[in-house]
Structure formats: structure tokens, C-alpha cells
Structure 1
């Protein structure tokens, strides 16, 4: 089950609002049109789109997230469903949005086929996700940092899925793809500390580094924060294409 509190924190990170806004621009939907937000989480995007006059159908496989979203945004329709089995008719939506979804999927193509099915001809799909191979965390030992970030990658089913978005959309039958990279610059250690700890723990669990290495690396990041030297850059790929 997804941690809805963690999803809330992600949507409140520096730059998260700008990232959502970039996805809406790529969708290009007008007031009165309908968007399905797949992997909608706790409904941040749904609420913003509704405020702009867009009709929203939120889909998530986690009932807890859907319950939070329904309580927050009574003007939207939400369903508990899998991304590869959408409870929607063929050609029934004007826009399809999926953010932070594909790194969780072992097999992406059924989900892409559903996106193609539910979009009307001329509708736009937007996929957004971090490619964990591109994450940057500053450190005095960059080699060790790179290994720690491999530990973070190991926590996802498909940590580098985002680099394949364009190929997958074209292979599904979409056309006119557009690729945008959105960088979130994080200088607040408190925002990232839990992810850093999870990355270091995973690297130890997979015998990539020792516990001593992990503790030393985490201590260095804490010290960098104390001296206002913490820096992380989180690139997100947004890829849109037309049905």
C-alpha cells in the first residue's frame, strides 16, 4: 500500500507545483474538457485542474489515497483501479496524465495501451517521472554517492523508465511527441533526509556499501546541511504525445 503522507510530502517539495503546471501545459486541455489522472495519489493535480474548469477522473490502485482525494476534492470523480484496466469507455477523455507511475510497473505497455484506448483521437497524453539514473546529490565523495544512489534505484521496479517514455508512446501509436525536462533544485536537507536514509539503507542491504560507509555518508550530508552546503537536483522527464 502507498504511504499517502509520503505522497503529500512529494507534492509539496520545492518545484512540485511548477512541475504539475508544466504537465497541464503539455496536456493543452480547455475548460469543460475531461482529463483522466492515472496514479492520482491524494488528488493535488485533480484539485488544480478542477479549479481551472477541467473535468477530472482520478484513478489510483490504492484505496487509502483515493479516500483522501475524495474527501479533499468533492468535485472530482475517483476510482480505485489498475492503470492497465481503466473503468472508462473508448475515446471518452480529452487528456491523459500519469505522473510518478511507470517506475512502479514491471510491464508498461498494457498501461500505455489503455491510455491510447481511452483518449479521443487528437487527445494528448502526458507522462511524467524521475529517471533515477540522473539524480544528483553533492558530496565530497562522489563515487560513494553514486553507489548510494544505486541503492535508491533498487527500491523501484523500473527506476529508469522515464527515459523510455518517448519510445513507448510512439510504439503504442501516438505521434508528435514532445520531451521536456523539469529540474527540482533542493537545498533543504530536511526535505530529502528520509529519501537519503532509505537510499543508504538499501545500498547496505544489497551489499553495495558497508554500514560504516552509509553512516559516514549520511553524517556528511547532515554536516553539509548545517553549513548550508546541501544540494540535490531531481530531474523529471515530461513526455507528451497526441493520440
Structure 2
């Protein structure tokens, strides 16, 4: 839960959420489901905008935290491919930071199609880990470390395929946006950097010596105000078919 909270409270996260709300374009009183809602930041913000929001997450601890953050919203512990919602009951569907966890995203998109009313709006997205950039004196080593980071997810490059998935499911008016968060504070990403290096060692992509040297370089960069990372997030919006 601390990890989820840290992600949503990083600089740029609030603007990313706001962008997803603009793409949904829902009016006060509309129904909306936030799938993989985590600790409920988006649910709470959408509820304050006057929407009737339902939060869904497979993690009971996340749902417990979300209920505390948005006590007036509806919540369910459920998986994205089996939502406890009636067909055509939602005006909007939102799912960010979900698809890199899924082996097969098609059932989740099919379920989104089922619960959305005709003409309803969908916004899906997440980071494509193949596009992450971290500056380093040894860029080849950095690229291998980032492969270690990718190995921690079932589908680390899923975000680039979301447009295809929505088009294949007959959604219309499909639009793609890319939001890039630039991070110059090493401490913001320190846990992720260490996790990436550890994963690269575990996968035998690099040695422990390589990992230690790379982490030490990133720490030195942070101390000298030379740390730089760019984290692109893909947002894909569309409308449910009306025919």
C-alpha cells in the first residue's frame, strides 16, 4: 500500500489523473467504474466531481484503503475480467496501471465493453517500460538493468498495444496521448532503481558487482543534481460502439 500511495502522490500523478478525467468527459451524475483503483485517489476525486463511482481492485487491502479515502463510493474486490456490474450500466470506464500485470488483456477489454452503455467512454493506460529513460555513464548497462525491471511484470510493454485492443473490440473515436514525467530527484525512484538492479541480477543479466556499481553511480548523480529519468505514460480513450 505504501508503494501505491507513493506512486499516486509523486509530482505529475495528479495531472495524469486529471488528464484521464478530461478524456472521460463525464457530466455530474454519470456512472463510472475505476478498475484497479488501488488506494482510491481517482475514485475520491471523481466522486468530488459529482460522479457515481465504483472502485474495483483485486487486492482487499487496496479496497480497504480506498474505502477510507472515498467513504461515499461503492467498492468491490474483483478481477478486471469478471466485474460485479450489470451490462451497459456504466457511462465511463477507467483503468490505469493495470495492463502490465495481465497475461492476456483481451478478457478485460471485453468486460469493459460489456459494462459500458452504448456511447460510453473508456480511458485505459499505463507506463510502457520499454520507453523508460535513465541517464547514466554506462548506457548499455542501464538498458540491461531496465530489462530487469521489465522482467518484474507480466506484460511490461502492454501500453503500446492498447489502441489495437480497443479498435479490435470495435470501440470508436480512439485517441492516444503520451504524458511524460521527468524526474530529477533520485530519492523519488530509489526503490524502483534498486528493484530493477536486483531483478537484473536474479535473471543473470548482470553481476552483483555490475548492479552495485550502477546503483552507486545513480546515487552519486542524485547527490550532484545530475539524476535524470523520463517516465512516459500512454493514455488511450475511446467510445463504446452504439450499433
TM-score normalised according to structure 1 size: 0.98
Q: Cα offset for 1:55?
A: 1.2
CA distance in 2, matches of 1:237, 1:212: 34
Question: 1:202 pairs with 192, 196, 199, which one?
Answer: 199
- Contact between 1:32 and 1:55, CA under 8 Å: does it hold in 2? yes
Q: Does 1:82 align with 2:79?
A: yes
Supply the distance in 2 between the matched residues of 1:12 and 1:128 (Cα, whole angstroms). 18
CA shift, 1:13, in A, is 1.0
Match of 1:137 in 2: 134
1:239 paired to 2:236: yes
Paired with 1:81 and 1:51, the residues of 2 have a C-alpha distance of: 24
C-alpha deviation, 1:54, in angstroms: 1.1
Equivalenced residue count is 240
- In structure 1, C-alpha distance between the alignment counterparts of 2:95 and 2:17, rounded to whole Å: 11
Corresponding residue for residue 190 of structure 1: 187
Are the equivalent residues in 2 in contact too, given 1:14–1:185 (CA < 8 A)?
no
Q: How far, CA to CA, are the matches of 2:213 and 2:191 in structure 1?
A: 16
Counterpart check, 1:163 vs 2:185: no
Q: What are the residue-to-residue correspondences of 1:104-115 with 2, within 5 Å?
A: 104-115=101-112
Please report how far the alpha carbon of residue 201 of structure 1 lies from its aligned counterpart in structure 2 after TM superposition: 0.4
1:16-43 deviations in Å (ceiling 9; x for gaps): 0000001001101011101100000000
Question: Paired residue for 2:38?
Answer: 41
Q: Tell me the secondary structure at the aligned position of residue 26 of structure 1.
A: helix
Q: Which residue of 2 aligns with 1:13?
A: 10
* TM-score scaled by length of structure 2: 0.98
**Cα root mean square deviation, aligned:** 0.6
Q: Deviations over 1:79-105 (max 9, x none)?
A: 000100000011000000000000000
- Which of 80, 83, 89 aligns to 1:92? It is 89
Residue among 57, 60, 70 paired with 1:60: 57
